[in-house]
Homo-oligomer: A and B are copies of this chain.
Amino acid sequence: MKLNCSQSELNIALQLVSRAVSTRPTHPVLANVLLTADASTGKICLTGFDLSLGIQISLHASVEKSGAITLPAKLFGEIVSKLSNDSPLSLNLDENSQQVELISKSGSYQMRGMIADDFPDLPLVETGTALKLNSTFLSNAIKSTLFASSTDEAKQLLTGVNLTFNGQGVESAATDGHRLAVLNLNNILYDKNLEENNIESFENFSITLPSKSLREVEKFLSNFNSNEPVNLFVEKGQVVFIASDQVITIRTLDGSYPNYSQLIPETFSNIVEFDRKDLISSLERIAVLADQHNNVIKMSADNDSNIVKITTEAQDIGSGSESLSVTMNSESFQIAFNVRYLLEGLKVIDTNSIKLSCNSPTTPAIFSPSDTAFNFIYLVMPIQIRN
């Protein structure tokens, strides 16, 4: 292998594929990135793969001699990132020693690689038809729900985000058993023209993807050109996202995701409308004290004054109380929550006004944007309090 390429393009690609390299690899080669160069196409290809998440990026280079090698992701990435970005790079592989020499304007670096044959193949499912998605909306679907998934590995399916396709749009959902976030995106398809999207040939699906991998995908999508569609291929045990020269593969979590829609109440006796930013500010202040104890805050809505009082008690430390003017259309009521759950959910809702809908202090409460164009709900289980 012998090639010349630009420092900045190689650097960007290396930083991106490194997201899929495990920090605690189960096999030495998994700490490496795979680098392949093809003289006939004039392209090089970088791959990172932790056996669950795989990221592959192709870029143009001047390839004198084809070849393949794997190199330590961290070392290779750090050296390239620190080279000056006006410096053209050349890379030469000595096939006998598996040694790569990287030459820049100011110096040269030798790195010991491992043979490419040891690197596991990416499960590239490119059969069947692709669902063409809008990358910005896909990123949004992940971001708006991912936070509600469980971090407890024992909870298996709940450590992921569920995506369902019903022939029209995509619904994204995550729950850890205490709260549930659901975003319904009918506009996630890249092109409203159903034929263009191959929607007819696309079967309905429900897949659950690990949050850990999706966190990387979400960062990754922010670099996508939003004018280009992301092609989604779904197969048993695997999904593949493809956009221009970039490929992401994710192994799905096995099992059928809980039927969360049955948890969502259909009618509500209490509805209160808050200014979202004011509610967040008040909760953040109250959280300073609530965090000292058990994170519990109590909301008392008074229909005479149209004021919701938020209070917390941290025994032996102190107590706090905040008052917010609201619009409400119900009897006075009290309900208590984990303040951390509320703050996480309120922060992903990007509207000025927010609605709390609930029935009793012990049944699920829903936070949702007042503007129903945002098809998002955040269900939180209240905390039972003794008076």
Contact = CB atoms under 8 A, between A and B. Distances in A.
Given A111-B317, A322-B106, A84 B282 contact: no
Contact of A109 (B106, B107, B112, B319): B319
A323 B107 contact: yes
Given A75-B292, A106-B323, A292-B75, A82 B317 contact: no
Interface in A73-109: 75, 78-79, 82-84, 99, 106-109
Contact of A289 (B79, B83, B288, B318): B79
A282 B106 CA distance: 8
Nearest to A284: B82
A108 B321 contact: yes
A310 B106 CA distance: 11
Contact of A108 (B109, B110, B320): B320
Contacts of A107: 282, 285-286, 310, 320-323
Interface in A314-329: 316-324
Contacts of A320: 79, 107-110
A316 B83 CA distance: 22
Residue among A99, A286, A288, A321 with most chain B CB within 10 A: A288
Nearest to A315: B112
Nearest to A99: B318
A317 B112 CA distance: 5
Contacts of A288: 75, 78-79, 82
B282 A318 contact: no
A319 B75 CA distance: 11
A281 interface: yes
A123 interface: no
A320 B110 CA distance: 6
Contacts of A289: 75, 79, 109
A72 interface: yes
A289 B84 CA distance: 17
B108 A317 contact: no
Contacts of A316: 112
Contacts of A82: 281, 284-285, 288
Nearest to A316: B112
A310 B84 CA distance: 17
A7 to B, nearest CB: 12
Contacts of A99: 318
Contacts of A106: 281-282, 285, 322-324
Nearest to A320: B109
A327 to B, nearest CB: 18
Contacts of A108: 320-321
Contacts of A84: 281
16 contacts: A72-B317, A75-B289, A75-B318, A78-B288, A79-B285, A82-B288, A106-B285, A106-B324, A107-B323, A109-B320, A109-B321, A110-B318, A111-B317, A112-B316, A112-B317, A112-B318
Given A79-B288, A107-B322, A109-B321, 14 more contacts: A75-B288, A75-B318, A78-B288, A82-B285, A106-B281, A106-B285, A106-B323, A107-B310, A107-B320, A108-B320, A109-B320, A110-B319, A110-B320, A112-B318
